[in-house]
Structure 1
Amino acid sequence: MSKTAIIYSYNTQKSKKVAEKVIAAFGETGIEAVNAEELSKEVFENYDNFIVSAPTWFDGELPNYWDEFLPDLEEMDLSKKTFAIFGLGDQKGYPENYCDAIGLLAEILEECGAKLVGQTSVEGYTFESSKAKRGDVFVGLALDQENQPRLTKDRVTNWVEQLKKEFL
């Protein structure tokens, strides 16, 4: 497998726990952790594959650390890079924008030429709308630690197995 980074904020609790589950599920093949709050262009030059955390903040927004890096990101050519996105949201508290950050980040990455992998089914979720939803799939892994925490481990394990096949 090509060199893979997982990008998440080291200062978050829920996203950090999910990222640690992803890292553990990759096992011996290994991936390298990068703090999302310390992103630089060099990070994107040094890896082929990326797993990125995009928790939805407030009413469907990207976290501040992504917002701050967007001007640099939007100038990059990511046409030789592959990305998988996971995000956290709250289906009951924010059903009208569940895991929107996944969709927002996916759109930006695609505009930069990135290849997206790691789509997952929307089955088993209850929400009104989501920018992460395209047809009958999410463009990444949507997780709800507020209402479905017991499903996270299996969802992460299955997703990582899928990524191992999709990251070439």
Structure 2
Amino acid sequence: MDKIGIFYGTEKGMTAAMAQVMYRVLGDEIADEPVNVNRATVPGLLQYKALILGVPSYGVGELPGRTTGSDEGNWEEFLFRLDEADLSGKRVALFGLGNQQKYYDRFASSLIHLYQYVRAYGAEVIGDWSTEGYHFTRSHSVIDNRFVGLVLDHHNQPEMTKDRIITWLGQVKPGLLEKLAHA
């Protein structure tokens, strides 16, 4: 596929809304409409060489799904279907949501699970993000003092959301497009 695929899991619609913002910023010339993983197929995801994947924060820093109380299927169920898939040759940028005031001790920790899964399946992950400007005590999604992907706290810092998305997309877009050029 010659476009960037955007896939997300969502509970209350916020991750879907952020995926839509990213899609609009990138434009439909280089990105396809975002797809909820509860409606996605494995072949649908595997057709892309460059992906943006988004995860809500849910449970106690767990991967969202039915075992964490999700009403619909989410990343847990999708990744179970993806089991044994080969993501080598794919370049993936990740984003996650969180609430740093309410969950300061596990802020955006669901993101690390998605990161670990896609890396274990062979994907190259790009787009780590600074922890500056956030106020939390702990996040499992921090490696070497940086988030493993873009983290958005639209509940407590809505005024920063769009700028963070635009800045992050500016950082990951060249790497994602480079992958498309070599597809």
Q: Closer, same or farther in 2 for the Cα pair 1:100/1:11, shift >3 Å? A: closer
- Cα distance, 1:140 vs structure 2: 0.4
Percent identical residues: 35
Corresponding position of 2:111 = 102
SS at match of 1:53: strand
The structure 2 residue matched to 1:145, chosen from 147, 154, 161, is: 154
- Cα distance, 1:12 vs structure 2: 3.7
Q: Tell me if the contact between 1:118 and 1:166 (Cα under 8 Å) persists in the aligned partners.
A: no
TM-score, with normalisation over the residues of structure 2? 0.85
- What amino acid is the match of 1:148? Q
Find the aligned partners of 2:138 and 2:120 in 1 and give their Cα distance.
22
Corresponding position of 1:13 = 13
Corresponding position of 1:69 = 78
- Cα distance, 1:70 vs structure 2: 2.1
- Cα distance, 1:11 vs structure 2: 6.6
Corresponding position of 2:173 = 164
Q: Tell me if the contact between 1:74 and 1:108 (Cα under 8 Å) persists in the aligned partners.
A: no
- What amino acid is the match of 2:160? L
Find the aligned partners of 2:84 and 2:92 in 1 and give their Cα distance.
17
The unaligned stretches of length 5 or more in structure 2 are: 66-73, 179-183
TM-score, with normalisation over the residues of structure 1? 0.92
The structure 1 residue matched to 2:93, chosen from 75, 84, 87, is: 84
Between Structure 1 and Structure 2, which shows a larger proportion of helix residues? 1
Find the aligned partners of 2:57 and 2:10 in 1 and give their Cα distance.
16
- What amino acid is the match of 2:18? V
Corresponding position of 1:44 = 45
Q: Deviations over 1:64-103 (max 9, x none)?
A: 1111122222311111111111111011111111111111
SS at match of 1:123: coil
Q: Deviations over 1:113-168 (max 9, x none)?
A: 11001111111111111121111211100010111111000000001111111212
- What amino acid is the match of 1:49? A
Q: Alpha carbon RMSD of aligned pairs, Å?
A: 1.7
Find the aligned partners of 2:59 and 2:161 in 1 and give their Cα distance.
21
SS at match of 2:27: helix
Q: Closer, same or farther in 2 for the Cα pair 1:136/1:125, shift >3 Å? A: same
The unaligned stretches of length 5 or more in structure 1 are: none
Q: Closer, same or farther in 2 for the Cα pair 1:10/1:109, shift >3 Å? A: closer
Large movers: runs of 4+ above 4 Å: none
